[in-house]
A and B are shown apart, each in its own frame.
Chain A
Amino acid sequence: MIELSNVSKTYGNGAAAVHALKNANLTVPKGKIHGVIGLSGAGKSTLIRCVNLLERPTSGSVVVDGQEMTRLSSAALNRARHRIGMIFQHFNLLTTRTVFDNVALPLELMGQKRQAIRERVGPLLDMVGLTDKANQYPAQLSGGQKQRVAIARALASEPQVLLCDEATSALDPQTTGSILELLRDINRQLGITILLITHEMEVVKSICHRVSLISDGKLVEDAEVGEFFTAPRTQLGREFLNDFLQLTPPKELIERLSDTAGEHTHPVVRLTFSGDAVSTPLISRLARECGVDVSILQAKVESIQDRTLGLMIAELLGTPAQTQQAMTYLESHQLQVEVLGHVQRNV
């Protein structure tokens, strides 16, 4: 439904040129929710604006619903944009229009008749649960309600695609949850393809099917969400994941960690379980089969869509040969083992 090929965007030229986007390739199939995650300044905003040509790419091709967007005349581009809804971090509602009239705006722009507009806006407000607010002004609404109005407005022209530009970043966690739920319902009920950009892993985790990681204008990783949360392939991906899971060893332990193993040291490892490994009592088997004791420092279980993800930071207590055997054993059971360092035991 959305296909970006070799999309680059450069601002300015010569020495002052800023390469906001470098050869980005992205495909979002029909009916999927695709997230693009990255830090601020990574190029997320530019990327999503290249889809509806709010930013015109310097080079590359943008195909939405089979149409090459970069080659459309301005009239054809406006028609194409009717099929692409967009919502924003700061909602961008018109302050001088009521909720009803805000939702009606895209239909007015398309030149629809009053009667047709009324028939369309009613059900939309119903869907986002704001029928009773139809005659209020945006200033009277909460952030979550404003975003609901914006969603209704974006859906008014019956788009095939919905672009979400940090749609929940200005909202509190609870409101974020309800907006994400609404987006998921829309995706399921209307089959609308959603491309969203965010810096919050929570957003990706709760509604995306697939995720891309953007860094310094480049898409560095592209994976199914379950895969990304269990086995990110890049360093940045791991950083995002650890940040999200907040599973970093205690500070006091980090200070004692050394990179090299010695005779009286024990490895501290981060174990990532996914799939069947989660439900297998591996730790107790480890003690029995390898003679290694496991001291658990931190542990967490997350469910990511249909997958379960277990994370643990643990110290393996045994002789170097035993701990080595233990790690091999764990790896053979599809666990990811990452040695964070070694600590000296104060015996």
Chain B
Amino acid sequence: MSSAMFNLILQATLDTLYMVAVSGVLSTLVGLPLGVMLYVTRPRQILAKPLLNQALSIVTNIGRSIPFIILMVAIIPFTRMLVGTSIGINAASVPLTIAAIPFVARLVEGALNELSPGLVEAAQAMGATPWQIICKVLIPEARGGIMTGLTITVVTLVSYSAMAGAVGGGGLGDLGIRYGYNRFNPTIMLITVVILVVMVQGFQSLGDYLVRKSDRK
């Protein structure tokens, strides 16, 4: 393999990691609170607001139901407004983040839903405020489930980022399509796939390790 090829692959790998990292962090920052909101505003929950819950739920479902490839194209004007361009890894990170937010939110909501209702009841009996219940009971107790959800999200983002390559996003997917597919270079195709597989394995193992560390059940 030529050193030019090597540099291309290295750059694409870094680009993928960059897109996954940026969208992973940003979508967690928004998705985690959204997931908590989805849970605590449910009827009979600590901040029961059925109407708000319905609204949030509908918005989340819309976000989840739009195919990523369409979302990416559809929000190009928004992406351009935000990062000034519609191509490149920064531009690709915008739709990745938008797509991952409802994903994270539903996984967080699911993790909270797994908790025994008795925990919240006990905290209420101790005179905890809703905010205290969220910070001291719900999130710490669900952190194993939340970690599992974030691991799934990161792995999903790796494969979504490959799709982002299709619209000029850069990264391993982009490399695989341009060199492997369009230029009939099976070696490049194989290398990108192998790197993606290794990357996913790595994220999954890291996630599993963090879940094990945070779970005390």
Whether a CB of chain A sits under 8 angstroms from the CB of B187 is: no
- Kindly state whether residue A78 has any CB partner on chain B within 8 Å: yes
B125 touches A84 (CB 8 A): yes
Q: Is A86 in the interface zone, CB < 8 Å from B?
A: yes
> CB-nearest residue of chain A relative to B126?
A106
Contacts of A97 in B (CB 8 A): 140
A210 interfacial by beta-carbon distance below 8 Å? no
Partner of A92, one of B119, B128, B136, B143: B119
Tell me the dominant secondary structure on chain B's binding face.
Answer: helix
Asked if A81 and B119 make an inter-chain contact with CB atoms under 8 angstroms apart, the answer reads no
B22 CB–A CB distance under 8 Å: no
Interface residues on B, range: 20 to 34
Nearest-Cβ distance from residue B112 to partner chain A, whole angstroms = 14
Cα separation A74 to B122 with both chains bound (whole Å): 16
- Bound CA–CA A138/B141 (angstroms): 13
Assembled-state Cα–Cα distance A46/B32 (Å): 33
CA distance A74 to B118 in the complex (A): 20
Contact pattern, A 86-121, Cβ under 8 Å of B = 1, otherwise 0:
101010101111000000011011100000000000
Q: How far is the CA of A90 from the CA of B118 in the complex (A)?
A: 8
Residue of A nearest to B120 (CB): A92
Instruction: Please tell me if the beta carbons of B116 and A90 are within 8 angstroms of each other in the complex.
Output: yes
- Interface assignment of A333: CB less than 8 Å from any CB of chain B: no
Residues of B within 8 A of A (CB): 116, 118-119, 121-129, 132, 136-137, 140-141, 143, 214-217
| 29 A-B residue pairs with CB within 8 Å | A54-B121, A54-B124, A54-B125, A80-B127, A81-B125, A81-B127, A85-B125, A86-B126, A88-B118, A88-B121, A90-B118, A92-B116, A92-B118, A92-B121, A92-B122, A94-B140, A95-B141, A96-B143, A96-B216, A105-B123, A105-B126, A106-B126, A108-B136, A109-B128, A109-B132, A109-B136, A137-B216, A153-B126, A163-B125
- Chain A interface residues (CB < 8 Å from chain B): 52, 54, 74, 77-82, 84-86, 88, 90, 92, 94-97, 105-106, 108-110, 137-139, 153, 157, 163
